[in-house]
Structure 1
Amino acid sequence: MKEFPATIDLLVSGGDSRITPNPQTGLNKYGCSTLPDNELTALGSSTASVISLRGMTAAQALRNRCAQLVLQDTQQHIYDQQIRALRSEFLSLCGLSEEDKVDALFAASGTDIHLLLAQWLQPDLTVMIDPAETGSGLAAALQGKHFSSDSTCAGGTPEGAAVSDWRGELLTLAARSQDGKPRDIASVDAELLKIVEQAVKTKKRLLLILTDVCKTGLIFPGIASIKKLQQRWPDQIQVVVDACQFRLSKQSLRAYLVHHFCVALTGSKFLGGPTFSGALLIPHLVANICQERILHEGARAYSHSADWPSGYKASLNLHPGTNFGLLLRWEAAMAELREFAQLNEQQIRPFLQAFRKAVSDRIQHDPHFEAVSNPALDRSEIGSAGNWDEEQTIFPFVIYRILSNGEKRPLTRSESAKVYQELQQPADAQQHRRFQLGQPVLCGERMGTPVSALRICISAPMLVSAQEKLSAEKIITEALLAFERIVEIIDTL
């Protein structure tokens, strides 16, 4: 019998090339190590998270349990049992009970989740936010194409080729104007309504993707317009909430499900688990309508049958298979979710407000920076209000160079990318502290120069740590130090 793989090997298995460590740096595509990194100030949870010591300990413990169980049982049976246990606990920690009749599908990433959802629902037309504000492979996945040259379960795949005999049309909506400001909600609503009215006239089935929240912190399109459209044409419109950032309270999560919206989540951003752990929450009404649908065998590249809830015929064409890498990555994320789920509003909001004030003041009073504006996070249209997720947790900003004559010049996109990369390097031999921010996001133009925004982000592990006053002060201090380091880097460009 082959020896059960080590934890560090499992954590980078069962995904695609995005989580393969670079042999020279030991980092994956997102700049994250497979091991905890105590010298990294992790402020980039809108892109990905580095595994914590708590997460690593939990993953190691699960690996050891599986290694013992496999001495007396098959890997397939062990995986089936463990994924069912994960599903049950995950739903519970999300504030859901059996009475809610919500199911959970697991997959390696948010992009994999959207690909499987599209293959399952097979809409004629999907409408989503500008791809710059979400996952880079999402557009291809939602049109029924392989979004990469390799895949989670089948290795090599022909990027851009069809996954199955289904093809889907995709339309995208710009979230921001050319100056980087959020578009007027009325113009977005009018554009979306025109698209939907034209589609329903021709009997098309639509998938509308509501992003909550996008890379720069927007809810888009407006919840009110999505809700009205779904209520007006319930037989032709299905809504999925792209909440892969997982910056949602239990109350908001439940509210979306009550409105029969599917919700896509990941454990690797706000939650603080390692990269590549996705989930789709499926409300009862959607399950009733779609439970008999069978996935094309092309979906085998992205999913095993055990990853689907029991009773779903979608899995009939899938191989049994195991993905212990996915299981361990979710276990690491669950370790963070268990801690975070114990906090209440009074424990969360004061720190969020203190962090926002400190970071906003720093950006406002330094000519090197410009905040990317966002409207308030409002979910009252689905009946969710007064929760911690109304507070900002992603702080995007554009960087400027101050010229010798005192004038400001925005950094180009390549210069901003250079700043992002340099932040992850030690300042010098004496200063080992490094900073990881959210990767640069395209954000229109400033003074005729195309720019990208970097992002400082709050994560669930930060909120757990912030329950101790000294730790809370340290987190804010280190976030402010990141701005100082950026200014130092600008002078070297």
Structure 2
Amino acid sequence: MQALIQVSIAASATHTKRNFRSTSTTAANRSGVGADKAGAGDPNGGIAADVRRARAALALARGCLVELQQGLSNRGAPGGCVRFGGGPACSSPVSSLGGARDLVLLFTKLKYLETFSQAELAAYANAADAAAPAEAAAQLRARQEEVRVVRQLATLANPPELLSRLAALLHIPCHGDAWNEIVKFAANALPFAEQTESLLVRGSDDRSTLCPLSKTNNYNASTIPFPTDVARGSCTCSSITLEAFERCERLRQELLLNSLSINPNAKSSSALFNTKMRAVRTRVATCLGVSDLVRGDQLRILLSPSGTDAELLATVAGLARLYSGLGEEENLPGGVGPEQCKVTSIITAGGEIGRGSNSASGGKHFSNLTPSGEAGTAGDPLRKFPTDLVDVVTMPARDDNGDINRIDGRVEELVHEKLGRGGGVVLLHVVVGAKTGYACPSMPMVDALAAQYPNGLIVVVDACQMRVDRSLYREWAAKGYVVLTTGSKFFGGSPFCGAVLMPMRCVFEMEAAAVERHSELALPLGLEDYFSRYDMPEGMRHVRERLGTNMNVGLLLRWETALVNMEPFCRIPPRDIASICKLYMSTCRTKMQSVWGHMVELLTPPEPTENDGTSTVTPMDTIVSFKVRDESGAFLDMTALKALHTLLSKDVSNALPDDALAKKRCLLGQPVSLGKSGAVLRIAMGADMVNEVYNRGKGESDFAAAIEPLSQDDDAILRKIALILKHWEQLHHKYIEKCVETAPLEPLKPLSDWDFSVKDAQVARVVRHMVEDRVLSMNDQAEDETKLAIVYDLDAIDMAFQALLTSFPVHFEHRFAMKSCPLAFFVKRAIENDVGLECASIVEVKHALRLGCPPHRIVFDSPCKTRRDLQFAINAGVEVNADNFEELNIIREHAESIFQSSFPECTPRYAGNLPRIGLRINPLLGAGTNACLSVSTVQSKFGVPLTAENRAKIIAFFCANPWMTGLHAHVGSQGCSLEMLSQGAVVLNELANEIDVAAGTSRIKVLNIGGGLSTNFESEDVSPTFAEYVEVLRREAPQLFERTGRTILTEFGSSVSSKTGWVVSEVEYVKTHPQVDGDDLSQTAIIHAGSDLFLRACYRPDLFARRISVYNSAGMVSTASLSVQNVAGPLCFGGDMVGRHLELPTISRGDFVVVHDTGANTMSMFSRHCSRPAPAVYGYRTSEDEISLELLKPAETPEEVMSFWG
């Protein structure tokens, strides 16, 4: 393991290389699986040796990684410092780019650790190389936290949580302007910040996942360039070559360096990635000889994670054709009902094409992992996929005796049955190169059907094996056929990568379907789990908009590995390709029959498909299929051949140390079942072999000598088969029967940064600082005296927003309720932290726009919106939630006027664009424990009460007005339990589902579940936390966490801002009270803040009492004796009491009183009673040694107060 981990060190920063290398080396030495001990006591034997050699080979490919690090260092401003393993803290401040670089390097390290087994991770977590006990203990704690994060990387809720955890490991503060810049840089870089061998499996399915021990996938191939491979598995999948790996590594570095660039002329990460994907499509078109057809708008090339995924695009083309008019009721021929209008997908060569083709063609998951990284259940429909509109008919490749089925007659009959009366669409799959090398059905018959049914029949040519003359791609394109291709079969690209040659008619139909009323059926939501918008050409703008925004970096890299072989192959003259293939296949078959006939039996090559002289689909003869006999002479069945296939791919020298052949890793095509006739293994010739022979024998008329090394490798394969059969029981027991158990995931510790409340000890430091710096002035003669100030902890504000963001999944968006704290600096912090705004008046809307909040991230909620308010907000692009039916009618009138004035009369109704429009409903859940702030009672002024009558009216309105897209509910504040808040979300979701069913489409795009999380005013602790709310919400309303395409909005206000601020006032006077029997009240302190700032605390102290602290005139915590006192405000009425009968240190004139947790509803509820000026607002940041204080808003002047009165 020592050598393995050190391979990764080159990718780390120069200034961290020594620390990372030493810690990794120690872990390797103590793990018991080092270079000399690989395989000792390991039931998987030589697996560790395989991985060791493979990763050693990576060192060759990564010679340029130091250059990468230098590039990162050069682009980062000085001051960044990575501290892996609990190293010393940075002595200089962390720059934005430097901090982002450190996060990226740590992420790269953790993702590398993720590739190791649980035993190796445990060894790493329990090893420390520091000499001093204290340092060693700190290092162990840091490593254990790293490993804990490693085990949970895949389960983190969202990118903010990931970045926050990385920052916690590096002790980088998760707040402030610097943090927001760090997040922007790091988020750009993370898609490229993994080892290349790991990135190569991203954006695929579970077929590509590497085993943590063997580093191979289900087909025994790897994204690590094993140097001892004998590659004959191109009919299934291939391991990466060193040359291909180097190309991928350089490409990854280019993308990573660009993502961290501060050059203003550099492309954005997404723009550069889009350019690279466009280049792949162009290069593929060139290789297939169809570049001119793309330029001439005869076809487009669409990329796909695999050939199996490409089936989904073919089905989408069928659905788009169905909704282009064929399936419209008014266009149906007589006697054909809408229920008969379906897409029928005819899958041929069943059993000899990809196992998942049937499922994918029917709109179902074929794997438990989707390319987006989200989980799926094989056999279940994609999200919102109309599986009832798609029928899949599979025609098996062979009969029970193993003979090839002749299916032309059945295909012809079925197509006539489905299309004879019109009204449907048939996808007819023509397989050109099944697993054993044959094609079906016959192309002349297919051509005739296509001519007879030019509208209803879409021919899908499955050319995924790519074992055809490239002139055929032009021929198929000319006929308007959809062609499925790959780079990961014949061309040996890493598994898997696909492409679809889509004729322009289908492209136009897909584009039209993406914006028509059937768009959710023709291009279902679940497609975004499989395809990214970057997979499609830019010209398919509407289709791209319905796909995911993620960058499938793995797909880009996999296509790069395919083009390594594809581009040189396509430059070889076709005549030479045919000669090389014929010579190799003849040599291989002859040797197998003459030398190894006692052990293998060759399957008779398929006969060429009948040909009328105008169309040929005969695949290239490049696959040798053969049965294998065991020691007794009996043929191995399918199960035994799978075991043999696995054993061939392994280094089994641990079990057979005296046989050099045991080390040889031979990757063949996976076994194929022939029914009762048993099963076959396959030796497949790939483009890499053709390239090798051509380059070696170029210029000679005979390629025989150039083929000899390949023939020797084939002999090695057969000799290893014989070796395995000889030691079958021993090897089968050691390598096949043993299973590897994975340790369960450990829960992550909560981040300390999520506790964002201002601590009392910190308040004491700041008060003392303000007194010492004379910010709080006690000089009655001073012109700029400051007796009162509102104070905010700026770091706490950022941490509060980060706590909100990191607690919820990514499809939750957040809007800060401005009414709780509309101060400009606070609102800007929300915007900077990627949180939108909820506005309760049109002035708040204008305030939000003035401060730079994008209109689509503003929600306008108010029970009293005027027609002018609504027009302004909608025209500005602000999201609006109507509060009642009358308001909805005003919005409808305005919407119709927009549509009518913007488009000609022939334009379909509601063709224009509006911001999101929703309706606030009252879920009628009751008052909770705080009736004065409840908004969910029968008598509430907010929203439409969800009675049975109103429910019907709401559903009808949504059905009649397609521009209505949202529902909103707010249960209440400060007194509603987490369960009660969650129940409001349940009610909202149920109504949304009813509306969608009634509308026949996914009408509700946004569920706004409001805010209402209570604030703890009794101590400095944040309780409940956002994470605790999410936990209850998951339990009570799990539907919100399903990926249905809906956006969930929250509107937290007080729960974000309350604990981030406090108020400090000088005590102006103290009034002593005479002793009264039964009352121990001793005095009342008069301060400069009362109900003008603490409205709720003064009027309802039972619900909103605030904690109060006392400081002496020097700003130190008061040590005076305790007594019972009142704290009163300055206003002229008896109820102006901030605190009643409080036991506090006895207050003296000139002391300072701090009222805690006043970050919300303080300035926003400021009263003009008695014409007192609003106080100054300060903000501060603290470090271990200093306090930085700034004036955020000056106190009002008397002139400003008087001007208020006119």
- Could you say whether these structures have the same fold, taking a TM-score greater than 0.5 normalized by the shorter chain as the test? yes
**In the alignment, what sits opposite 1:86?**
280
Q: Does 1:161 align with 2:388?
A: no
In the alignment, structure 1 residue 106 sits paired with structure 2 residue 303: yes
8 Å CA contact 1:265–1:279 kept in 2: the answer is yes
The answer as to 2:631 corresponding to 1:399 is no
Distance 1:249 1:272 in 2: 17
Which of residues 650, 663, 688 in structure 2 aligns to 1:461?
688
Given the superposition, is the C-alpha separation of residues 255 and 100 from structure 1 closer, same or farther in structure 2, using an over 3 Å criterion? farther
Q: Residue 437 in 1 paired to residue 677 in 2?
A: no
Q: Deviations over 1:170-198 (max 9, x none)?
A: 11112223232323x3xx11111221122
Structure 2 unaligned blocks of 5 or more: 1-184, 320-341, 515-522, 698-704, 729-1206
- 1:339 counterpart = 2:568: yes
1:236-261 Cα offsets, whole Å, 9 max, x none, are: 11011111111122211211211211
- Tell me if structure 2 keeps the 8 A contact 1:180–1:372: no
CA displacement, residues 328-365 of structure 1 (integer Å, 9 cap, x when unaligned): 11111112111111111232222211211122223444
Give, as a single letter, the amino acid of the residue that structure 2 aligns with 1:57: E
CA contact (8 A) 2:631 2:725 kept: no
CA distance in 2, matches of 1:346, 1:161: 47
Superposed displacement of residue 154, structure 1: 4.7
Amino acid at match of 2:411: L
- Range with greater deviation from structure 2 (371-380 or 318-327): 371-380
- Secondary structure class of the residue paired with 1:279: strand
User: Secondary structure, in 3 states, of the residue corresponding to 1:339?
Assistant: helix
1:224 matched to 2:444? The reply is yes
Question: Of 211, 214, 228, which aligns to 1:22?
Answer: 211
Say yes or no: does 1:419 pair with 2:650: no
Q: CA deviation at 1:116?
A: 2.8
Tell me what 1:472 maps to: 707
Cα gap change, 1:384/1:100 in structure 2, threshold over 3 Å: closer, same or farther? farther
Aligned length: 480
Give the counterpart of 1:256 among 449, 464, 476: 476
User: Which amino acid letter does the alignment assign opposite residue 638 of structure 2?
Assistant: R
Alignment check: 8 A CA contact 2:347 2:428 kept: yes
Q: Quick check: 1:154–1:300 contact (8 Å CA) kept in 2?
A: no
Q: Distance in 2 between matches of 1:120 and 1:259?
A: 16
Distance change in 2, residues 1:364/1:14 (3 Å): same
CA 1:444–1:286: 2 relative to 1, 3 Å = same
How far residue 377 of structure 1 moved from its aligned partner, in angstroms, is 4.0
Larger mean CA deviation between 288-297 and 278-287 belongs to: 288-297
Alignment of 1:306 with 2:306, yes or no, is no
2:270 paired residue among 76, 90, 115: 76
Structure 2 counterpart of 1:170: 392
Residue by residue, what CA displacement relative to the aligned partner does 1:136-166 show, whole Å, maximum 9, x if unpaired? 1111111111222220015112332222341
**CA contact under 8 A between 1:268 and 1:274: conserved in structure 2?**
yes
Q: Secondary structure at the match of 2:598?
A: coil
Are 1:144 and 2:377 counterparts?
no
Q: CA RMSD in A?
A: 2.2
Mapped contact 2:627–2:681 kept (Cα < 8 A):
yes
1:85-109 per-residue CA deviation (whole Å, 9 max, x = no partner) reads 2111221121112236321111211
Corresponding residue SS for 2:512: coil
Partners of 1:88 and 1:169 in 2: CA distance = 34
Please tell me whether the aligned partners of residues 113 and 278 of structure 1 are also in contact (alpha carbons under 8 angstroms).
yes
Q: Which runs of 5+ in 1 are unaligned?
A: none
Confirm or deny: 8 A CA contact 1:181 1:373 kept in the other structure.
no
Moved more, 458-467 or 13-22: 13-22
Would the aligned equivalents of 2:528 and 2:548 in 1 still touch at CA under 8 Å?
yes
Corresponding residue for 1:370? Answer: 601
Alignment of 1:208-219 (within 5 A): 208-219=428-439
CA contact (8 A) 1:39 1:434 kept: yes
Contact 1:256 1:382 (8 Å CA) reproduced? no
Cα shift at 1:488: 3.1
Find the partner of 1:42 among 231, 237, 258.
231
After TM superposition, give the deviation of residue 383 of structure 1 in Å: 4.0
Secondary structure of the corresponding residue to residue 436 of structure 1 = strand
2:486 maps to amino acid: T
Match of 1:326 in 2: 555
Question: 1:296 is aligned with what amino acid?
Answer: P
Name the structure, 1 or 2, with higher relative contact order (CA <8 Å, separation 6+).
1
**Contact conserved, 1:242 with 1:263, CA < 8 A, in 2?**
yes
Verify the 8 A CA contact 2:374 2:529 in the aligned structure 1. Answer: yes
Name the SS for the 2:571 alignment partner: coil
Query: Contact 2:349/2:434 (CA < 8 Å) preserved in 1?
Result: no
- C-alpha contact 2:222 2:238 (8 A) present in aligned 1: no
Give the 3-state SS of the residue equivalent to 2:238 in structure 1: coil
CA shift at 1:411, angstroms? 1.5
Report if aligned partners of 2:642, 2:671 keep a CA contact under 8 Å in 1: yes
2:910 is matched with none
From 55, 59, 62, the equivalent of 2:251 is: 62
TM-score by length of 1: 0.91
* Contact 1:32/1:48 (<8 A) preserved: yes
Matches of 1:21 and 1:400, distance apart in 2: 31
Letter in 2 for 1:416: L
Q: Which moved more, 1:69-78 or 1:234-243?
A: 69-78
- CA 1:374–1:232 in structure 2 vs 1: closer, same or farther (change >3 Å)? farther
AA of the residue aligned to 1:399: V
Q: C-alpha distance in 1, partners of 2:474/2:606?
A: 23
Q: Is the 8 A contact 1:305 1:316 kept in 2?
A: yes
The AA in structure 2 aligned to 1:111 is T
Indicate if the aligned counterparts of 1:154 and 1:302 stay in contact, CA closer than 8 A. no
| Counterpart mapping for 1:170-189 below 5 A | 170-183=392-405, 185=406, 188-189=407-408
Conserved in 2, the CA contact under 8 Å of 1:244 and 1:266? yes
Of residues 275, 287, 291 in structure 1, which corresponds to 2:495?
275
CA contact (8 A) 2:316 2:510 kept: no
Verify: 1:350 aligned to 2:579, yes or no: yes
1:242 aligns with 2:462: yes
Q: Which amino acid aligns with 2:403?
A: K
Query: How far, CA to CA, are the matches of 1:189 and 1:260 in structure 2?
Result: 21
Q: 1:273 to 1:209 in 2, by over 3 A?
A: same
Q: Secondary structure at the match of 1:438?
A: strand
Report the Cα distance in structure 2 between the residues aligned to 1:219 and 1:349, rounded to whole angstroms.
18
Q: 1:233 aligned to 453, 458, 461, which one?
A: 453
Structure 1 residue 128 corresponds to structure 2 residue 384: no
- Measured in 2, the distance between the counterparts of 1:299 and 1:28 equals 25
In the aligned structure 1, how far is the partner of 2:624 from the partner of 2:711? 13
CA distance in 2, matches of 1:433, 1:309: 43
Matched residues in 1 for 2:385 and 2:213: separation?
Answer: 40
Letter matched to residue 561 of structure 2: A
Shift of 1:462: 0.5
